[in-house]
């Protein structure tokens, strides 16, 4: 059944299992069984992976479908077929519906197939029904953008995407790689090691010390590199693409996956430098170093919104009354829990205020609770939490949210 405080966490536990299984199986088949286990440990060593898996967000789900898309693209480029093309296309469509900016990978994968001639007319005809239905499959994502107020979550005058954001956020990402204070939810030592591996492999390819077994592998590697760089650039160009911000670290799960698998590439192409035993010890060391960062949770605990929402949910539980209406700046948080909820803009309209008071008198709901953040200095609500003076409020409880604001829970009376 519908259990909003349980179901997302059950789903993410299954997603984590699926992601680790996928990584383990792919590395086991392409490198060695021992490397497969080590690869799973390296992925888990990134605190952002554990944090996302223990959250109710959809970001780990997005990472899983990125990895599935990569595997499907490899299969299609290795030996093009109708079935693999259909699997690739449907995986990319699902990926685009999880995170809206992921639609860029649909175009990048298509460009790779066309550029390297991995898509012929017979395969296209075999999957023509899927291509014809593509607009229908993308309709949910399009409608979400159209129907969601402030769909890009921007403040007035702020561009959703820009080169300025890209440059500023790129500087933050690069400078953060040198932070070794065990605060950020990334395994920075692995990131630096993977960068060194990338340089080493690039030099080896240039000197022909490392050779591809089949031509399609070089083509696939180029396509994957472009997908990674463009995908990372899209996140950095977004106005919220800060690598060191607790609400935005989830954008860098793909970046973290690349960092985790760098040593695996070294094991595959230069086993003389890193064998199975060394890779296993490295995975264990990274887990011991970085998993406590996720457990301690100092990075995520800096989020004030989590604290505020928890306080509001506790206030709702204390009322022990399912038939109530909430007025809050994020009404969706409480509508998902089964309560009626509106925002301050709706509640402040004169006709709506009269209607809500009439419904309260007629007992269509037993209470109206108001959640407001109040400035300590002025003792007034923040601008976005101001309620029309026509509402008479009775304070139920108060609790600190930040150093400058506290949460006031009030009951509307008449």
CA separation (Å) from 328 to 106, 141, 310, 344, 393?
38, 26, 14, 6, 14
How far is residue 283's CA from residue 53's CA, in Å, rounded to a whole number?
A: 19
pLDDT of residue 192: 97
- Quick one: pLDDT at residue 51? 97
Segments in the chain below pLDDT 50: none
Q: What is the pLDDT of residue 150?
A: 77
- Could you read off the pLDDT of 308-352 as tens digits, one per residue? 999 999 999 999 888 999 999 999 999 999 999 999 999 999 899
- The CB density around residue 367, as the number of other CB atoms within 10 Å, is 15
Distance from C-alpha of 239 to C-alpha of 217, rounded to nearest angstrom:
35
SS3 369: strand
pLDDT value of position 137 = 96
Predicted local confidence at residue 154, as pLDDT: 84
pLDDT at 156: 81
Residue 387: phi and psi, rounded to 5, are -115, 145
Output the pLDDT for position 322. 84
**β-bridge mates for residue 405, sequence order:** 375
Q: pLDDT digit string (tens) for 226-249?
A: 999 999 999 999 999 999 999 999
pLDDT (0 to 100) of residue 372: 98
* 343, 328 Cβ separation under 8 angstroms: yes
Cα-based distances in Å from 140 to 136, 137, 288, 336, 360: 8, 7, 42, 19, 35
Distances (CA, A) of 408 to 233, 315, 322, 335: 41, 10, 20, 20
CA-to-CA separations, 369 to 164, 184, 338, 349, 391, in angstroms, rounded = 42, 37, 14, 17, 11
What phi and psi, each to the nearest 5 degrees, are found at residue 336?
Answer: -65, -20
Report the 10 Å Cβ neighbour count for 111.
12
SS3 396: strand
Q: Cite the DSSP H helix spans in 45-184.
A: 47-53, 59-78, 82-98, 103-115, 121-126, 128-132, 134-147, 163-176
φ, ψ of residue 224 to 5 degrees: the values are: -65, -40
Residue 71 CB neighbours (<10 A) = 15
Residue 301: DSSP 8-state:
G
Phi then psi for residue 252, to 5 deg, are: -110, 30
> What pLDDT was estimated at residue 373?
97
């Amino acid at each position: 059944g519908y259990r909003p405080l349980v179901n997302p966490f059950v789903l993410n536990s299954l997603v984590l299992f699926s992601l680790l299984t996928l990584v383990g199986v792919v590395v086991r088949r392409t490198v060695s069984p021992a490397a497969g286990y080590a690869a799973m440990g390296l992925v888990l060593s990134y605190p952002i992976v554990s944090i996302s898996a223990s959250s109710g967000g959809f970001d780990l789900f997005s990472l899983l479908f990125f990895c599935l898309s990569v595997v499907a693209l490899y299969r299609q480029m290795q030996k093009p077929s109708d079935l693999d093309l259909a699997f690739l296309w449907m995986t990319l469509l699902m990926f685009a519906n999880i995170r809206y900016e992921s639609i860029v990978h649909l175009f990048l994968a298509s460009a790779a197939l066309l550029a390297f001639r991995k898509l012929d007319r017979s395969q296209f005809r075999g999957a023509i029904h899927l291509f014809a239905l593509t607009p229908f499959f993308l309709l949910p994502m399009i409608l979400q953008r159209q129907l969601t107020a402030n769909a890009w979550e921007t403040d007035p005058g702020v561009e959703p995407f820009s080169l300025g954001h890209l440059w500023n956020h790129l500087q933050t990402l690069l400078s953060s790689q040198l932070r070794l204070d065990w605060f950020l939810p990334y395994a920075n030592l692995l990131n630096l090691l993977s960068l060194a591996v990338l340089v080493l492999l690039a030099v080896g390819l240039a000197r022909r010390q490392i050779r591809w077994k089949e031509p399609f592998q070089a083509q696939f590697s180029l396509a994957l590199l472009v997908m990674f760089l463009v995908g990372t650039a899209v996140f950095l160009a977004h106005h919220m693409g800060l690598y060191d911000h607790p609400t935005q670290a989830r954008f860098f799960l793909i970046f973290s996956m690349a960092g985790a698998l760098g040593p695996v590439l070294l094991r595959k192409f230069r086993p003389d430098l890193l064998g199975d035993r060394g890779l296993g010890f490295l995975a264990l060391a990274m887990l011991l170093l970085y998993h406590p960062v996720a457990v301690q949770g100092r990075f995520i605990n800096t989020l004030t919104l989590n604290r505020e929402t928890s306080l509001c949910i506790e206030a709702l539980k204390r009322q022990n009354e399912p038939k109530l209406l909430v007025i809050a700046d994020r009404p969706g948080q409480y509508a998902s829990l089964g309560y009626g909820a509106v925002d301050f803009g709706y509640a402040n309209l004169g006709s709506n205020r009269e209607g809500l008071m009439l419904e309260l008198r007629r007992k269509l709901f037993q209470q109206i609770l108001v959640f407001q953040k109040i400035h300590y200095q002025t003792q007034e609500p923040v601008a976005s939490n101001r309620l029309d003076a026509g509402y008479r409020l009775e304070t139920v409880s108060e609790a600190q949210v930040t150093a400058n604001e506290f949460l006031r829970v009030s009951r509307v009376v008449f």
